Amino acid sequence: MSTPTDTSGSFRRRGPRFTDRIVAEPAGDGQWPAEPGRYRLVVSLACPWAHRSLIVRRLMGLEDAISLAIVSPIQDERSWNFSLDEDGRDPVLGHRYLEEAYLARDPEEGTENGVSVPAIVEESTGLLVTNDYPWITIDLGAEWAKYQRAGAPVLYPEGLREEIDAVNEGVFHDVNNGVYKAGFATKQARYEEAYTALFARLDELDERLAARRYLVGDHITEADIRLFTTLVRFDAVYHGHFKCNRQKLAEFEHLWPYARDLYQTPGFGDTVDFDHIKRHYYQVHESINPTRIVPLGPEPSAWLEPHHREELGGSPFGPEGTPPEPLDGPLRPLPPLDM
């Protein structure tokens, strides 16, 4: 797969092409109604940006309101595909490739910015509604309140939004996107800039979490979800594959127990699939890993070690919140690797 780097050797992330929103009370163009049974959330279990929406859908208890499609972690020249489904088609949309939903929305320029996940697709028409990943999670957490489960947490509380936004801004540039800027840089100077900013931000976050259980407030918010999906991939992928190797996540004093705390919280660790994650990065990014060998480690059981973060106070779902119901099993097991 080709990667978007400019002539300076810097990785450039393309923004979402379709920025419509699904809201409780639509008030104009670009707004769709929050309507159960109308939409399908398409994710990759490998992708950190898609993983956010999967976590929020589960925390909010929206499984019956919004159906879920999981693409293969192995992209080809047409990007994300439904090859894990019977006959290689999504059973609801009928698509073989996610790009079909993009082209249904805009036949001329639908794939101009690439084909990305998460994507929300209208089931009846098969056309893309939005791939605006920052707003998808916020809206799943706020605009679908009428259909959320009892005890769902408030992930973007009004009184904390300014602080959440400030934390998210730094995390996005230096951590979420920073690992990609390091991994896909084609010039030494650009790599070193990204590497330096990444670890400066991780050091700052490690210090921030020394005396507080969560990034903002005393329960899980959007900020924790956005950081977690990068942290959970760090030692398995970014440390080696993307050359982010000053130290492992497991070597941070506070970030490592913080990440384990979240992993052990229902809705987080039960939506992680290290097999999907490693196969995607190591088998798709052939310019970085031409042998396509998938590493066996790290040992995932380390994520279940005691974290003792509850001693800092706070509670995952807020004072009146409750955890979501347990999942029945893994979301989408993969067949064994070809030997």
| Amino acid letter, residue 9 | G
Start-end of H helices in 106-221: 133-142, 161-171, 178-183, 188-208
Q: How many CA atoms lie within 13 A of 42 on its CB side?
A: 36
For residue 91, whether the previous peptide bond is cis, meaning omega lies within 30 degrees of 0, is: no
Considering 39, 47, 244, 263, which one is annotated as catalytic?
Answer: 47
For residue 295, whether the previous peptide bond is cis, meaning omega lies within 30 degrees of 0, is: no
Question: What's the count of helices (H) and strands (E) in the chain, helices before strands?
Answer: 9, 6
Considering 39, 97, 102, 180, which one is annotated as catalytic?
Answer: 180
Q: Are 190 and 9 in contact (CB under 8 A)?
A: yes
Long-range CB contact pairs, 20-25, < 8 A, 24+: 20/129, 20/130, 20/132, 21/130, 21/132, 21/135, 21/139, 21/143, 22/120, 22/129, 22/130, 22/139, 22/143, 22/144, 23/139, 23/143, 24/143, 24/144, 24/145, 24/146
Residues in the chain: 339
**Is 47 in the active site?**
yes
Residues forming the active site: 47, 180
